[in-house]
C-alpha cells in the first residue's frame, strides 16, 4: 500500500511539473479566479490603501493576479501576452485611461514570463516572485505613464507625480505576490 501511495504521489508531482507551460482550461480558470479576486480587491482594499496613503500607493491587484498566474503556469511568451491582454481587458472596467493597459500589461506579462523562465532555472529561484513582480509592476507602470504623458503632455509634472506611485505600487505587489505564491503553489500541489 505504501509503495502504491508513493507511486501516486510521484505521478502527481510529475503531472504537475509537466503542466507548466500549458495555457489550458485549468490555467485559464486559475487566471479567471485570480483576476476576479484582483478586480474585487481593486474596488475595496485598493481604494482604501490609496486613500490612506494619500495616493502614494495605488495597488493594482490585477497585475498581482497575472504575476501569480505566470508563476504557477509558466507560459511561453505568446501565452503570457494572452494573459496580459486578458488582464488588460478586465482593467478596462475600472480605468480612467482606456486602452493604455493593453500595451502596458501585454509587455509586462511577457517580461514576467521571461523573468520566471530564466529565474526558476537558477539558484536564485526563491527570489523570483518578489523580484519578478516588482520589475513587472514598475515596467507596466512606466509604460502606462509614458503613454499617458504622450497623450496629455506635461511630461515633467506627470512623471514626478506618477513615478513614486509606480515604485511604491511595485513594492506592494512584490510583497503581495511573494506572500501568496507559496500557499497557492502548495494548494495546487505544484512542483518547482
The three cell numbers of residue 14 are 510529475
Q: What whole-number distance in Å separates Cα of residue 125 and Cα of residue 117?
A: 10
Question: How many other β-carbons are positioned within 10 Å of the β-carbon of residue 111?
Answer: 20
Whether residue 49 contacts residue 175, with contact meaning beta carbons closer than 8 Å, is answered with no
User: Tens of pLDDT along 156-187?
Assistant: 788 888 899 999 999 999 999 999 999 999 99
User: Tens of pLDDT along 127-145?
Assistant: 999 999 999 999 999 999 9
| Domain limits, the chain | 2-187
Comparing C-alpha atoms, which of 111, 121, 120, 114 is closest to residue 170?
111
User: Tens of pLDDT along 85-94?
Assistant: 999 999 998 8
Which position has the higher pLDDT, 153 or 20? 153
User: Tens of pLDDT along 5-15?
Assistant: 444 443 333 33
Stated as kind and residue range, the H or E segment containing 21 is: none
Burial 57-83 (b: 16+ CB within 10 A, else e): bbbbbbbbbbbbbbbbbbbeeebbbeb
User: Tens of pLDDT along 47-87?
Assistant: 888 889 887 777 889 999 999 999 999 999 999 999 999 99
DSSP 111-133: HHHHHHHHHTTSTTGGGHHHHHH
Q: What CATH number belongs to 2-187? A: 1.10.1760
List of E strands, 56-160: none
Burial of 107 (0-12, 13-18, 19+ CB in 10 A): middle
All residues at 6 or more sequence positions from 176 whose CB lies less than 8 Å from its CB, including other chains? 59, 61, 64, 133
Give residue 1's pLDDT. 45
Comparing C-alpha atoms, which of 133, 141, 137, 134 is closest to residue 161?
141
Amino acid at each position: 500500500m505504501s509503495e502504491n501511495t508513493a507511486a501516486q504521489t510521484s505521478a502527481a508531482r510529475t503531472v504537475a511539473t509537466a503542466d507548466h507551460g500549458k495555457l489550458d482550461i485549468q490555467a485559464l480558470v486559475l487566471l479567471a479566479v485570480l483576476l476576479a479576486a484582483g478586480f474585487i480587491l481593486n474596488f475595496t482594499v485598493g481604494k482604501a490603501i490609496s486613500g490612506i496613503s494619500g495616493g502614494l500607493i495605488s495597488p493594482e491587484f490585477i497585475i498581482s493576479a497575472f504575476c501569480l498566474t505566470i508563476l504557477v503556469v509558466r507560459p511561453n511568451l505568446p501565452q503570457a501576452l494572452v494573459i496580459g491582454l486578458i488582464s488588460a481587458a478586465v482593467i478596462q472596467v475600472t480605468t480612467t485611461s482606456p486602452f493604455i493597459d493593453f500595451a502596458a500589461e501585454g509587455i509586462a506579462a511577457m517580461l514576467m514570463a521571461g523573468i520566471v523562465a530564466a529565474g526558476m532555472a537558477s539558484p536564485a529561484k526563491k527570489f523570483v516572485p518578489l523580484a519578478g513582480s516588482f520589475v513587472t509592476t514598475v515596467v507596466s507602470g512606466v509604460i502606462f505613464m509614458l503613454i499617458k504623458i504622450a497623450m496629455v503632455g506635461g511630461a515633467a509634472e506627470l512623471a514626478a507625480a506618477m513615478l513614486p506611485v509606480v515604485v511604491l505600487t511595485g513594492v506592494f505587489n512584490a510583497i503581495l505576490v511573494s506572500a501568496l505564491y507559496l500557499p497557492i503553489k502548495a494548494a495546487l500541489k505544484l512542483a518547482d
